[in-house]
Amino acid sequence: MPDTPLLLTLAILGGTGKEGKGLAYRWAKAGYRVVIGSRTLEKAQAAAQELSDMLGGDAIIEGISNLEAAQQADIVALTVPYAAHRETLEAVKDALQGKILIDVTVPLVPPKVTKVQMPPAGSAAQEAREILGAGVEVVAAFQNISHEHLLHDEPIECDVLVTGTSKEARAEVLKLVAAAGLSGWDAGPLENSVVVEGLTSVLIGINKQYGSTHAGIRITGVENN
């Protein structure tokens, strides 16, 4: 993958939600072309217009269908609720072949969202791997970042753990973590995503118990070069 932002198109499937719009805002501000995908074209277009207005009209953001977004993008992020995870992936499976998928999904099972409940595959990201096959590099990232921070220009005191099917794919996603103004860490193979995804339920529980909305994690004791 090239390092120059404008040479890359980033798609965010389910990008009309809070997490998706937050990532779109950060990446578009950094100079990437961003396409927001949705099952409903009007919602995708409205989200793209909202973000374009926030960025003064200078950003390259477009709202299209999930399938078109997956087809156009070099790297695809998936930010749908877990209930829509499998359906969305199966609909864009062919378009994702040969690409990197950043799976931001957490397998939350309402109403007990503070309880870790992992799927039979081990994690949502591992489930994505099973659905998509070996032709797609699957990387899990951004699960522990509160969406409340992403749509603002403030520094975010939370690190991003990046797991994935190859070191090369993780390295590409770490570039996007940095472009979003965040500190990222290579957290190893995709199997480790079970820990990262599970932490989200822990953080939700901490938020509820201590009256916060944006509990996060930080890695200490090592320099992040």
H helices of 97-224, in order, are 124-132, 147-150, 167-179, 193-210
Dihedral, CA of residue 43, residue 44, residue 50 and residue 55, to nearest 10: 170
- Quote the CA–CA distance of 215 and 206 in Å, as a whole number: 7
Q: Could you tell me the CA-to-CA distances from 192 to 74, 163, 164, 168, 186 in Å, in that order?
A: 25, 6, 8, 16, 11
Categorize the per-residue pLDDT at 213 as very low, low, confident or very high, splitting at 50, 70 and 90: confident
pLDDT at 3: 47
Mean local confidence (pLDDT), 193-220: 93
Q: Which of 116, 43, 124, 44 is nearest to 81 (CA)?
A: 124
pTM confidence score? 0.94
For 134, how many CA atoms within 13 A lie in the half-sphere containing its CB? 0
For the record, the structure tokens of 160 come out as 């991003």
H helices of 111-157, in order, are 124-132, 147-150
Q: Give the pLDDT confidence of 163-195 residue by residue, as tens digits.
A: 999 999 999 999 999 999 999 999 999 999 999
Q: Give the pLDDT confidence of 118-127 residue by residue, as tens digits.
A: 999 999 999 9
Count H helices, E strands: the chain? 8, 8
pLDDT at 6: 53
**Where along the chain do its domains lie?**
5-210
Q: Give the pLDDT confidence of 150-163 residue by residue, as tens digits.
A: 988 888 889 999 99
Q: Give the pLDDT confidence of 59-75 residue by residue, as tens digits.
A: 899 999 999 999 999 99
pLDDT at 148: 75
**What Rg, from alpha-carbon coordinates, does the chain have?**
16
Place of tokens 């969406």: 147
Q: Which of 175, 163, 180 is nearest to 21 (CA)?
A: 180
- Quote the CA–CA distance of 127 and 122 in Å, as a whole number: 7
Instruction: Name the amino acid, one letter, at 20.
Output: G
Q: Give the pLDDT confidence of 86-100 residue by residue, as tens digits.
A: 999 999 999 999 999
H or E element at residue 214: none
Mean local confidence (pLDDT), 101-124: 95
Q: Give the pLDDT confidence of 22-59 residue by residue, as tens digits.
A: 999 999 999 999 999 999 999 999 999 999 999 987 78
CATH homologous superfamily of 5-210 equals NAD(P)-binding Rossmann-like Domain (3.40.50.720)
Query: Mean pLDDT for the chain?
Result: 93
Q: Output the CA torsion sign for 71, 76, 77, 82.
A: positive
